[in-house]
């Protein structure tokens, strides 16, 4: 390997992986100014100079039916990447997220002597812990973005380094709620509740009516209460608008296209689907209530096979190691149970402060300059393999 111009192959999954890849590339150039990059890319990685072997959209799939239909193409792409990397003078192969795709590729490449890194831990700590066996065979280094992941994977003799979360450095420790309201043309002094029923059709179909029913429960008890709902894309907006019409369209609600981070900062309390949005809400320092509903079939399978291994599902609770924010899952996800908690957070400054104080502490724990720490860990691994 030419030490002055090492080649890194990076395969990113989804847009979040594109951002992680671009940040990692910038930081790796601090160690290797002439470094070369190839891989599965999004626009951010390409802007940083990564030669694209395939577009990131080819890995951005959701839902079992969608993935099943694409299996032949995905296997073909994985085979092409393996043949492209095998036998070349590669400093490291770095898979970012997309564990279903990347882990098998990493395993094959590692058998061929390629140094392998996986960035963003697979959620084996939450479900299907048996995956740790394949992860151990696949990677020379696992880069964790959450602190509890490091301890978990070390239990299975997997080399892992906690690097922090890039979003924690990107977002301010003390967000400006007033500026967010001004930017979104929202009233400065009215009480506002944010509704985020999810970014995928299945989520919005299940949670949208529940969130609308909860909002009506709240408005009956606090006339004048207003709602804000940032929509992930036009398709989700059309679906949610139809649900509002079906419910009577009597809510004082403002729909916003995108701009969810600004909306999170602008509102007083959030009701949102469990998922990555809960981490963004934590970093926005907005008190929240979390809800989620799997399909009855998927939930029965997961419970019946004992696939779910965690007590809490939302990221604030996982990071806090306790029930920091209320969660309402499956049959508990009902307006008469969720509404009183949202109402309490609106009414009680003490309840809000208990959440936001913990959010501040977690934010500081995650803001470690993840790009720099991840690049240092990769550079140390590459140096050790010379």
Residue 128 lies in a domain: yes
**How many H helices and E strands in the chain?**
17, 13
Q: 43 and 79 share a domain?
A: yes
Say if residue 305's pLDDT is above 50.
Answer: no
- Give how many domains the chain has, as a whole number: 2
Is residue 43 included in any domain, yes or no? yes
Higher pLDDT, 150 or 100: 150
What is the average pLDDT score of the chain? Answer: 90
Six token digits for residue 161 = 């380094």
pLDDT of residue 69: 59
**pLDDT > 60? residue 306:** no
Would you state the pLDDT for residue 65? 41
Do residue 140 and residue 250 come from a single domain? no
Nearest to 277 by CA among 162, 351, 330, 199: 199
Does 138 score more than 90 pLDDT? yes
Contact 278, 314 (CB under 8 A): yes
Same domain, 38 and 181: no
The residues, ordered by sequence, that sit 6+ positions from 55 with a Cβ below 8 Å of its Cβ are: 40, 41, 42
Retrieve residue 258's tokens.
């995108």
Q: Is a pLDDT exceeding 80 seen at residue 278?
A: yes
Q: Which pLDDT belongs to residue 297? A: 55
Cβ neighbours for 199, distance < 8 A, ≥ 6 positions apart? 232, 233, 236, 275, 277
Residue 318 has pLDDT above 50, yes or no: yes
pLDDT of 332 > 90? The answer is no
Same domain, 86 and 108: yes
**1, part of any domain:** no
Residue 232, φ and ψ in degrees, nearest 5: -65, -35
Residue 10 has pLDDT above 50, yes or no: yes
CB neighbours of 265 closer than 8 A, spacing ≥ 6? 175, 176, 177, 179, 180, 284, 285, 286
Check if the beta carbon of residue 210 is closer than 8 Å to that of residue 335.
Answer: yes
Residue 285: inside a domain: yes
Q: Is residue 66 part of a domain?
A: yes
Residue 4 reports pLDDT greater than 80? no
pLDDT mean over 115-132: 84
Tens digit of each residue's pLDDT (9 = 90 or more) over 15-49:
788 999 999 999 999 999 999 999 999 999 999 99
Domain match, 114 and 143 both: yes
Strand-strand pairing, 269-273 and 253-257 = unpaired
Q: With 90 as the cut, is the pLDDT of residue 331 above it?
A: no
CATH code for the domain of 244:
3.40.50.2000
> Higher confidence at residue 13 or residue 86?
86
Rounded distance, CA 107 to CA 114, Å?
Answer: 9
- Domain membership of residue 2 (yes or no) is no
Q: Are residues 280 and 211 in the same domain?
A: yes
> Domain residues for 12?
7-164+368-385
Residue 207 has pLDDT above 60, yes or no: yes
Residue 170 lies in a domain: no
User: Does residue 52 contact residue 84 with C-beta atoms inside 8 Å?
Assistant: no
pLDDT over threshold 80, residue 368: yes
Whether residue 21 sits in one domain with residue 157:
yes
Report the alpha-carbon distance of residue 53 to residue 41 in Å, rounded. Answer: 8
> Measured on CA atoms in the order 329, 334, 339, 340, is the torsion positive or negative?
negative
Q: How many CB atoms lie within 10 A of CB 106?
A: 25
Please tell me the predicted confidence (pLDDT) of residue 212: 97
pLDDT band at residue 68, thresholds of 50, 70 and 90?
low
pLDDT score of 355 more than 90: yes
Residues 329 and 291 reside in one and the same domain? yes
Are 188 and 268 in a shared domain? yes
30 in the same domain as 158: yes
Same domain flag for 69 and 109: yes
Query: Which residues lie below 8 Å from residue 74, measured CB to CB, with a gap of 6+?
Result: 58, 59, 67, 101
Mean pLDDT computed over 70-95: 91
Q: What is the pTM of this model?
A: 0.85
Task: Assess if residue 169 is contained within a domain.
Answer: no
Same domain, 158 and 206: no
């Amino acid at each position: 390997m030419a030490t002055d111009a090492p080649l890194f192959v990076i395969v990113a999954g989804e847009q979040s992986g594109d951002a992680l890849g671009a940040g990692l590339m910038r930081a790796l150039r601090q160690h290797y100014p002439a470094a070369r990059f190839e891989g599965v890319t999004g626009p951010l990685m390409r802007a940083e100079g990564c030669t694209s072997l395939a577009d990131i959209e080819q890995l951005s799939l959701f839902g079992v039916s969608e993935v099943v239909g694409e299996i032949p193409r995905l296997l073909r792409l994985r085979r092409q990447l393996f043949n492209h990397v095998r036998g070349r003078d590669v400093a490291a192969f770095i898979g970012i997220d997309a564990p279903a795709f990347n882990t098998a590729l990493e395993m094959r490449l590692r058998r061929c002597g390629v140094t392998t890194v996986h960035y963003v831990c697979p959620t084996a700590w939450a479900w299907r812990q048996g995956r740790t066996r394949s992860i151990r065979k696949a990677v020379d280094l696992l880069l964790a973005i959450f602190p509890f992941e490091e301890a978990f994977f070390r239990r299975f003799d997997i080399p892992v380094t906690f690097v922090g979360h890039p979003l924690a450095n990107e977002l301010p420790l003390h967000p400006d709620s007033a500026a967010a309201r001004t930017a979104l043309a929202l009233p400065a002094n009215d009480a506002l509740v944010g509704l985020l029923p999810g970014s995928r059709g299945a989520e919005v179909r299940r949670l949208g009516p529940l969130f609308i029913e909860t909002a009506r429960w709240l408005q009956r008890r606090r006339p004048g209460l207003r709602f804000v709902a940032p929509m992930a894309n036009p398709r989700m907006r059309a679906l949610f608008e139809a649900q509002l019409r079906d419910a009577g369209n009597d809510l004082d609600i403002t729909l916003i296209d995108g701009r969810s981070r600004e909306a999170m900062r602008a509102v007083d309390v959030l009701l949102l689907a469990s998922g990555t949005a809960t981490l963004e809400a934590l970093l926005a320092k907005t008190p929240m209530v979390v809800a989620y509903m799997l399909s009855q079939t998927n939930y029965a399978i997961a419970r019946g096979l004992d696939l779910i291994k965690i007590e809490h599902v939302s990221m604030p609770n996982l990071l806090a190691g306790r029930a920091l924010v209320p969660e309402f899952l499956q049959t508990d996800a009902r307006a008469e149970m969720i509404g009183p908690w949202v109402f309490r957070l609106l009414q009680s400054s003490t309840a809000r402060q208990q959440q936001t104080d913990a959010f501040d502490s977690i934010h500081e724990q995650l803001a470690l300059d993840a790009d720099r720490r991840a690049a240092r860990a990769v550079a140390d691994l590459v140096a050790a393999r010379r």
